[in-house]
Amino acid sequence: MNSCFTFGGSALRVEIVRTLLAVSLVVGLGWTASVSRTERPSVVFAQQTMASAADSEALATAFADKLIAKMTLEEKIGQMSQVALNAPLDEPLDEMVRKGRVGSFLFITDATEMDRLQHEAVEQSRLHIPLLFGFDVIHGFRTIYPVPLAMASSWDPAVVEHAQAMAAKEARATGIQWTFGPMVDIARDPRWGRVMEGAGEDPFLGSRMAAAQVKGFQGERLGTPDHIMACVKHFAGYGAASGGRDYEESNISDEQLWNVYLPPFHAAVEAGAGSLMSAYMDLNGVPATGNRFLLHEVLRDDWGFKGMVVSDWDSVSSLVTHGFAADDEDAAARAVNAGVDMEMTSHDFRDKLPEAVKSGLVKEATIDAAVEAILVAKYKLGLFKNLYVDPSKTAAQMVTAEQRAAARETATKTAVLLRNEGGLLPLGDKDRKIAVVGMLADSKADIMGSWSLAGHPADSVTVVEGMRKRFGAERISYTKGVEIEREQPSIFDPQFTSPKPVMKSDAEREVEFKHAIALVKQSDVAVLVLGELQSMSGERASRSSLTLPGKQEALLEAAVATGKPVVLVLLGGRPLNISWASEHVGAILEAWYPGTEGGDAIADLLSGDANPGGKLPLAWPRSVGQIPINYARNLTQIPEALNERYWDATSAPLYPFGYGLSYSTFAMTNLKMSAPTVRAGAAMQVSVDVVNTSDRDGDAVVEMYTHQRAGSASRPVRELKGFERVSLKAHETRTVTLALDTRELGFWSPQTHKWGMEPGMFDVWVGDDETAKEHATFEMVAR
């Protein structure tokens, strides 16, 4: 076994080292071959001594191509195969590794087992190619951070980048090198379960959050120590699933596709994302995993993407289910010809591509291109140089004090204060007795949220625990009041489950309900923690309604009927129907699924130790009947009556896009433009004075919206084109200047069928949500 660590043990390895040395001479790099048996990460191929240009595309491609020339067709297709280790295997694990019949594993978090498999791949397979370990690091690994929709509510890309960098640090310490995130699908239907994984409804905000997450996961470049490769998903249009029903088809006009759904993916590519994932569903009648228009014409030809593309779970074999491919061989051929480089979990590539190549359905050059993308990714990640982690050191790097502090701060910055009548919040010393009510208030699993598969509920701080620590156990009384349960099981129940109801009879449930109301009556203030179980949000967790599950609404109304002040804390991954609460409950805090430190963060917010500053990343509907209710609508007939489109109810959202309160109050005045005109392709400055008019320090988010008055196509009434979150001391005034890049004013025109910046008059508004009042105009002129 150890002979593979010497030049004499492998002629191929000598050839690869020579290749690296030769390439280094061409590009002016210095390489040092290593033969030491004690330097395990660097002994297999070579060790690079120049870091500045180590990841150049030319060097990585030359390395990959030299290796591909040595590979058999079976070994090439092995690199294109990803195997899930949470399901039964159809061949022995170690055998597939030694034979080079697998390029990547997913759903494994055991550092010791990953280390063993990596050694086996490098030391016992013919070509010594390292494995790529992937896992869904969506909003944390062992330490769980707020869900991505919550992160977008921070309106602070730096907060999001840091959170994902911390998540990457834990994941990399176990041996994971690849995450299947960020999800950047625009979602305008909160019934869709996966709305919690994205950044909401707006392409500008979504693009900023996409870039921040890519940078957080990957660092300055692919291969940055303590970071992992991002995989941007789901390309493309998955968030427009018909009726909000997960996996259903998406029918999107060209105008909406280019102007709304594709921009966050483009921003992620521009940020350097190393990989993308094709989507499950049909896009305008063509499955995304077999869609050459998306995977080649847009992604590679138009955007110049050079990374790797992986299918979603079983989505290659599902091309047959779609009625798109005739059989598994046809599915494999269509997927790889469309631009899928690696197949996730199903085995059509492994089992059917060899015959497809022999029959001419697939060219071997196409296989080579796919393998090149995979090997280049592994090379850039440093897997041919720094292969291993030390499993004995992994545990000490999980849920550290640094991680907990970062998770707690992130959770405080992502919460959105929706209502605070009479300054009910923050709670003070006058509120001596506090009743905390709700099943979710003491659920360690549910405060984490969906996609917390590597998290340990025991690590979590619940709302009850956080409140007791902050206010003192003697001031806090708790009971659940009601229990809730998902009607259908979740696909993730075997891996991560919520507590099950324990009350078996109606009599038990009635006694508990009355007990909860009695506690409210005995308190000075009641904090009701209501919402959804973590399993009620996420993949395959779409809903037909947005009501509070179970009898939570009845519990809330009964608590308010006592006359005691009531604070509603919402836990969940989507807007819920709180129309009644918005008129009758004193204070409402949307905490989303805040993660491991959620209980402490919520206690910080309710006590005033932290000041809410989050803003909604999507408009909040009053009812399901209003969906979709995104703010960026086009002006049509009777523009003065935009909120009177229904005769039986207002058509205005309950809370607008960008909305969120604070314990501080702010005013924005004195809007100024740097010039009355700007040339297309140039930038201008938009400034406004922001005043903290209160006695409390706090954060304000300055939001800038524009509208193009005329052009080759109608443009939305308002579009977000800039924002900045700023911290202001009590009574502080600050001039905030936002850059307005005219390229952001360009759009894909359904008339010209191309993207462009069209000269004309523009409106600009600045304020604290999409109803901003400060207004000015400018003209964009031709270059």
Q: Which residues are catalytic?
A: 312
- Distance CA(372)–CA(727), nearest Å, equals 47
Phi, psi at residue 272, to the nearest 5°?
A: 100, 20
- Distance CA(414)–CA(147), nearest Å, equals 9
Judged by DSSP in three states, 96 sits in helix
- Distance CA(404)–CA(560), nearest Å, equals 35
113 sits in which H/E element: helix 111-124
- Distance CA(371)–CA(82), nearest Å, equals 13
Residue 268 and residue 235 in contact, taking contact as beta carbons nearer than 8 Å: no
- Distance CA(719)–CA(631), nearest Å, equals 8
Residues whose CB is less than 8 angstroms from the CB of residue 541 and which lie 6 or more positions away in sequence, other chains included: 193, 194, 246, 450, 490, 535
**Residue 720: other Cβ atoms inside 10 A:** 22
Query: What are the DSSP calls for 462-531, one per residue?
Result: -HHHHHHHHH-GGGEEEE--S----SS--TTTTTS-PPPP---SHHHHHHHHHHHHHHHHHSSEEEEEEE
Residues whose CB is less than 8 angstroms from the CB of residue 74 and which lie 6 or more positions away in sequence, other chains included: 99, 100, 101, 354
Burial class of residue 110 in the structure, from the number of CB atoms within 10 Å of its CB (0-12 exposed, 13-18 middle, 19+ buried): middle
Q: Name the amino acid, one letter, at 228.
A: I
Residue 768 and residue 703 in contact, taking contact as beta carbons nearer than 8 Å: yes
Do strands 719-728 and 698-708 pair parallel, antiparallel, or not at all (unpaired)?
A: antiparallel
DSSP code for 392: G
Phi, psi at residue 250, to the nearest 5°?
A: -115, 125
Do strands 275-278 and 231-235 pair parallel, antiparallel, or not at all (unpaired)?
A: parallel
